[in-house]
Structure 1
Amino acid sequence: MKNKKFAVIGLGRFGSAIARKLSQRGAEVLAIDINQDRVESLKDDVAYAVCLDSTDAKNLEAQSIEEMDAVVVAIGTNFQDLILTTFALMELDVERIIVRAQDPIQKRILEKIGVKEILSLEDEVSNNVAEQLLNPSVLMSIRLPDDYEIIEVRAPRIICNRTLGDIGLREKYSINLITVMRKGNLDGKFHILGVPDASTKITEDDIIVVFGRSNDIDRFLEINQ
């Protein structure tokens, strides 16, 4: 993620977590909030932390906001400020604007004013809960456009102690394995093994991360329960 530049506006728990994660991944992050205490708490974790009123387009323009690869608007306490900030970003022709919606009504309003990318935590939480109820082995589920999905799932017993070449996830189920997470012997924590290949063997207690169409993933889970 080198040379990527992002701005995060609204430094509550959600916005701060995004800003820190982007910075940890090597991005140049501009963190913005109207609350000085929130800015101070994040200033050592990001490239720039600025206290300003983001509803004023002139303030954003002074930070060269239009040069960012993307801007995340994560204002959670004042929907009017979120709307005004988003509108200011649109007026400044920011290339990519991602806005957090707190509920379905906010989501509809954001859609009406032309926001293309909306983060709906309600949708993500409900999707994860539903998946975990239907498939207890599923640890995480992310819905993507066009009926695609990424899931973290405990490796089904039927595929353990077999190589990926032997299992044939793509050939049999039309899904792709992104990576494998395996528990370390020393610290007991799960670690990513990197990019797997046909010789990678799945072992008991592994967590696999797979990508594919939702119906293909459901079929894989159902067959291998």
Structure 2
Amino acid sequence: MKKEFAVIGLGRFGGSICRALSTEGMQVLAIDKDEEKVNEFKNIASHAVILDSTDEVSLKEIGISNFEHVIVAIGENIQASILTTVILSELGVQRITVKAQNDYHEKILNKIGAHQIVHPERDMGRRIAHNLISNNILDYLELSDEHSIVEVKAGRKMKGKTLIDLDIRANYGCNVVAIKQGKSINVSPMADEILKEDDVLIVIGADIDISRFEKNLVIDD
């Protein structure tokens, strides 16, 4: 069965989530108090409604508690974001993901029932910074405050060597969970596999360990 999502706030962040979920064939209810934004998504989402999400009665009327996952993507209005999250939590929504504006906002959201908190601007900034450091760092995803997963191209320092030779786990405390070779992906690769220059390693570990790994093996001098 298709999952049912509700996206509250149809700005750049909420709008992009709404489009992506709809493209994947998910059932999506698009919500915003701005009529113009709602009209923009009438032909994109499964349903689109004009609604003030700080109004508990209105949320009950549309059956918001029946949705498996509600994304609160309200822009600059932190008060509205917090109040909406409180209402969703009290109504028993199964999963609530909220966009945080800053660390203080995140602390409050953690205390009032948000299941997942995202910082799109901050996280994108970190990803771009990693990409700028080296052409060999292809992608970077934060898993928690202290752990991440990074996608790196096997450059000059890794070319022709095996995972045994590099001993990434012992030397840097990171784990190579997969290797991409062209269009194929090798999950749990053999330790004696010889790396080629265009191979892409997917590495997981603590941020401090990934930083050492990048500086010593990924970034070419």
Range into which the TM-score falls when normalised by the shorter chain: 0.7 to 0.9
Written as runs of structure 1 = structure 2, the 5 A alignment for 1:1-225 is 3-128=2-127, 131-132=130-131, 137-145=136-144, 147-160=146-159, 174-178=174-178, 180=180, 182=182, 193-194=184-185, 196=187, 198=189, 203-224=196-217, 225=219
CA distance in 2, matches of 1:17, 1:53: 20
SS in 1 for 2:157: helix
Q: Percent identity?
A: 38
User: 1:188 corresponds to which residue?
Assistant: none
Cα gap change, 1:110 to 1:196, in 2 (>3 Å)? closer
Conserved in 2, the CA contact under 8 Å of 1:179 and 1:209?
Answer: yes
SS at match of 1:204: coil
Deviations 1:76-133 (A, max 9, x none): 0322222221121112111221111112332333344343422123542453355456
Paired amino acid for 2:51: L
State the superposition RMSD in angstroms: 3.2
Which 10-residue stretch deviates more, 24-33 or 199-208?
Answer: 199-208
Distance 2:153 2:185 in 1: 17
Task: Report the Cα offset of residue 148 of structure 1.
Answer: 1.9
Secondary structure of the corresponding residue to residue 157 of structure 1:
coil
- 8 Å contact 2:5–2:70 — kept in the other structure? yes
Tell me the distance in 1 between the aligned counterparts of 2:105 and 2:74: 12
Given that 2:39 and 2:48 are in contact with CA atoms closer than 8 Å, whether structure 1 keeps it comes out as yes
The whole-number CA distance in structure 2 between the counterparts of 1:45 and 1:194 is 33
Deviations 1:142-161 (A, max 9, x none): 22236321123233333346
Residue type matched to 1:222 in 2? K
What letter is aligned with 1:49? Answer: A
Residue type of the alignment partner of 1:198 = P
TM-score (norm 2): 0.76
Deviations 1:49-76 (A, max 9, x none): 2221211122222232212222110110
In the superposition, the TM-score normalised over structure 1's length comes to: 0.75
Aligned pairs, how many?
Answer: 215
Aligned to 1:32, what secondary structure does the other structure show?
strand
For residues 80 and 146 of structure 1, do their structure 2 counterparts lie closer, same or farther at Cα, with a shift above 3 Å needed? closer
Structure 2: which 5+ runs fail to align? Answer: none
Local SS of the residue matching 1:22: helix
Looking at structure 1, the residues matched to 133 and 200 of structure 2 have their Cα atoms a distance apart, in angstroms, of: 18
Q: 2:2 is paired with a residue of what secondary structure? A: coil
CA shift digits 1:149-187 (9 cap, x unpaired): 1123233333346677987766875413346374xxxxx
